[in-house]
Structure 1
Amino acid sequence: MKPRVLIIIGLLAAVGGVLHLSRAGKPENLESGETGRLAPAPVPVQERTEISFLYSTEKKAWVEEAAAAFQKTHPAIRLYLVERGSLDAAQAILDGRERPTVWSPADTAVLRMLESDWATAPERGPLFARQGEDAPQSLVITPLVFVVWEDRANVLLASSGGKQISWRTIQKAVSSDQGWPSIGGKEEWGFVKLGQTDPTRSNSGLQAMLLATFEYHHKRMGLTVGDVLDAKYQEWIKQMERGVARFETSTRLVMTDMVRFGPSRYDIAVVYENLAIWQISNATERWGKLKVYYPPLTLWSDHPAVVLQAEWVTPRQKEAAREWLAYLRSHPVQRRALAFGFRPADPEVPIQTAEASNPFSRFADHGIQAEVPPAAEVPEGPVVRNLLTMWTRVVGPR
C-alpha cells in the first residue's frame, strides 16, 4: 500500500477516535446547550399524573412563569393551565363545564358564593375542604385601586375638597349629564368614562360593587341583603354605572385598553393594584402619567387556591395538586410575585426591599404605597348573590 494512502487512513482513524471519545463523555440526556447538568429522565406517558389549574386572569404572567419552572423539576406531573374570570369560572364549575383539579379565583367572596351555590345539592358533598392541608390558602394578595390620568385626577380631587378620590366622588362625576365641566374639567374631555368589569363575571367588578355599597351605607362590615334592596341605593348604583360603556369580563383587558387607547377609552379604571403596576411605565410613554388611588375601604383579592374534593379528582391527582400549590407558596416563587406587582401571601417575604426594581419604591410618586386603608369584611354568600341579582336587574350587562 502506498505511503500516502496509509497516512490518510491514519488520519481518519484518529478523527474517528476523537469523535468516539467525545460522544462517550456526553450522556444522551444532557440538556442541549448546557454542561454539567443532566436533564430529568423522560417519564413514560402512562406514569404521568395530569392536573388542571383553573385560575383568574390577572395572575397569568406569574402563574405561567412558575408553571414553566415547575414542569422542569416535576416531569411526572403534567400541568394544564386554564385562565378564566373568577365568576365565570365559578359558574362553569357549578354547571359542570369546567372540572379542574385546583381552582384559584381572585377572591374569597367568589369562593364562598360557589360553596353556597354548590351546597344546594347536598348529594354532591363539599366542593372543597374547610380544614387541613386542602383548605383554602392564599397564593398572593392585591387590593383594588382607582387608576386615573393625572389631569383628571387633579379635577376629581379638587371636586372632593382635595381629600381623596372615593366612590362618592366618582359617582358624582359619572352621573352628571354635563360631563367633566360639571366638576371643573375641560369641555373637550366630554363625559366621564369609567372602566370596570362585569360584576357577574369578574371579581374586580364584584369588589367594586361591594366597596361602593359599603361606602354608600357608611359600613365597614355587616353588609346585609336589606342594604342591597334599598331603593335609593339601587338608583345611586345605577347612576354610577352609566359611566361604563362596556362591562368587560377581564380586569387585565380593562387595564390594557386604558393604556392602549388612552383617555379616549377610560378616564378612570377600577383595577387590581398589580395590574396598575404592570402598566404604569407603558402609560407614561404613550399618554402621560397615571395616578393610583386607594378607595377609603379595601377589599383584598387574596387569590385562595383549593384542591377540589369533587368526584372527578382522583387521590393521585390530589397529591400532584398539593405539590403544585406547595411550589407556588415556596419562598423563591413568592419573592418573584413582587416582580409582577403582587404582594406575597407569605408573611416572611418582605414587600418593601432595597432593590431598585421594587414596585412599592419605584412607583411611589404614582401613588403606589405599601400601607393601604382598612379592609372591609367580606359578606357571606347569600349577600353576594343578592348583590349580583340586584345589579343584573338594575344595571344589566352591556
Structure 2
Amino acid sequence: TRARALEQKFGAVDWKTIHDAAIAAGGWPELGGDAAWGFFKLVVPNPRKNVGGLAAMVAAAGEYYDKPNISVADVTNPDFQKWLKELMGSVTAISGASAYTAEDFALLGYSVGDGGQMLESDLLANMAGIANRWQDPLAVRYPKYVTWFDFPFSVWIGPETSAAEKNAALDFQKYLLSQPVQDKAVNYGLRPVNAEVSVDRPDSPFTRWKDAGITPVVQRTSAMRSPDRDVLQALLRWFDLNVAQ
C-alpha cells in the first residue's frame, strides 16, 4: 500500500513525510511505490469550502515548527511559506478543489489523491464506501499535533430574549448532552463530551475501523491550540495567493 511504502522509506507518515513525498521528482518509484501510481497527490479539502482544509494547514504548521501553537509571524515566515507551497503544490484540481473530499475519496478512490488530512467525522462517515469500492486499503494515521474542533453551545441573554427562551435553550443544551443523543453523535463519527458515553463500543465506527488505524482514544497533550482569527486569516490569504489561483 501507499502507507507501507512511505513508512518503509521514511519510518512514519507525518507532515514532513508528506512534504518529502510531494517534492519527489521521481514520483512513487522514488518513494518505493508502484510506478503506476504516478506522482504523489495530496488530499485536503478546499479551506474556503471546508474547515478541514484549514485544519490541515494548521496541523502541518504545528509539525513544521514542532510546537502546538502558531502565530502570524510563523505563517509569514518565508522559509515556512516555501515549505508549505511545496507541500500544497501536490494538491490536484480534483484532490483540493472540493468541499467534500471524503465523499469524493469514497466515489473516486485514489484518482482523488494518495494521502492527506480530512476531518475524522467526515472520513468515518465514508469509510464503508471507501472500503467496499477500492481494493487498496485505506490506512489512517493521526498527526503529531491534532487539531480538535469543539462546538460550543451559547445562550444569548439580553433584552431581546425572554426568560422562557433562555430556559428553552438550556433545556435544549441538556438534551444535546444527554446520553442517548451523545450515543447518536458517536454513530456519526463525532466524539462525545458526555463522559458516560464511550466511542470504544462494539457498534461504534471508531471500533469498526480500528484495524484501519482509527484510534478510539486520542491524547490531547499535543493538541494544537486554536489559532486566533488573525492567524487563520493569514493562512487563508496565503492559500488564495499561492494555491487557489
TM range (shorter): 0.7 to 0.9
**1:176 deviation in Å?**
2.7
CA 1:318–1:202 in structure 2 vs 1: closer, same or farther (change >3 Å)?
farther
Matches within 5 A, 1:187-336: 187-221=35-69, 223-246=70-93, 247-248=96-97, 250=99, 253-288=100-135, 289-307=137-155, 314-315=161-162, 320-336=168-184
- 2:199–2:207 Cα contact (<8 Å) kept: no
**CA–CA distance in 2 between the matches of 1:283 and 1:249?**
17
For residues 346-370 of structure 1, give each alpha carbon's deviation from its aligned partner in whole angstroms, at most 9, with x where no partner exists: 12222223xx312333222111112
- 1:174–1:242 Cα contact (<8 Å) kept: yes
TM, length-normalised to structure 1:
0.55
SS of the counterpart of 2:224? coil
1:243 maps to amino acid? S
Residue 11 of structure 1 is matched in structure 2 by none
CA 1:385–1:326 in structure 2 vs 1: closer, same or farther (change >3 Å)?
same
1:360 maps to amino acid? F
Q: Does 1:156 align with 2:6?
A: yes
Q: Does 1:360 align with 2:180?
A: no
- 2:189–2:205 Cα contact (<8 Å) kept: yes
In structure 1, stretches of 5+ residues that fail to align are 1-150
**CA–CA distance in 1 between the matches of 2:165 and 2:82?**
48
In structure 2, stretches of 5+ residues that fail to align are none
- 1:307–1:318 Cα contact (<8 Å) kept: yes
Residue 140 of structure 1 is matched in structure 2 by none
**Greater gyration radius:** 1
Q: Does 1:177 align with 2:25?
A: yes
Q: What's the % identity of the aligned pairs?
A: 33
RMSD value, Cα: 2.3
**1:268 deviation in Å?**
1.4
Residue 57 of structure 1 is matched in structure 2 by none
Aligned length: 239
**1:286 deviation in Å?**
1.2
Matches within 5 A, 1:9-24: none
**CA–CA distance in 1 between the matches of 2:141 and 2:193?**
22
2:7 maps to amino acid? L
Q: Does 1:186 align with 2:34?
A: yes
- 1:276–1:292 Cα contact (<8 Å) kept: no
CA 1:282–1:202 in structure 2 vs 1: closer, same or farther (change >3 Å)?
closer
**1:158 deviation in Å?**
1.4
**CA–CA distance in 2 between the matches of 1:260 and 1:390?**
30
CA 1:198–1:319 in structure 2 vs 1: closer, same or farther (change >3 Å)?
farther
- 1:293–1:367 Cα contact (<8 Å) kept: yes
CA 1:329–1:248 in structure 2 vs 1: closer, same or farther (change >3 Å)?
farther
**1:249 deviation in Å?**
5.3
**CA–CA distance in 1 between the matches of 2:177 and 2:97?**
30
**1:318 deviation in Å?**
5.2
**1:344 deviation in Å?**
0.6
For residues 354-390 of structure 1, give each alpha carbon's deviation from its aligned partner in whole angstroms, at most 9, with x where no partner exists: xx31233322211111222521222222222222222
CA 1:278–1:168 in structure 2 vs 1: closer, same or farther (change >3 Å)?
same
2:153 maps to amino acid? A
| Among candidates 223, 234, 240, match of residue 375 of structure 1 | 223
- 1:258–1:269 Cα contact (<8 Å) kept: no
CA 1:179–1:308 in structure 2 vs 1: closer, same or farther (change >3 Å)?
farther
**1:228 deviation in Å?**
1.1
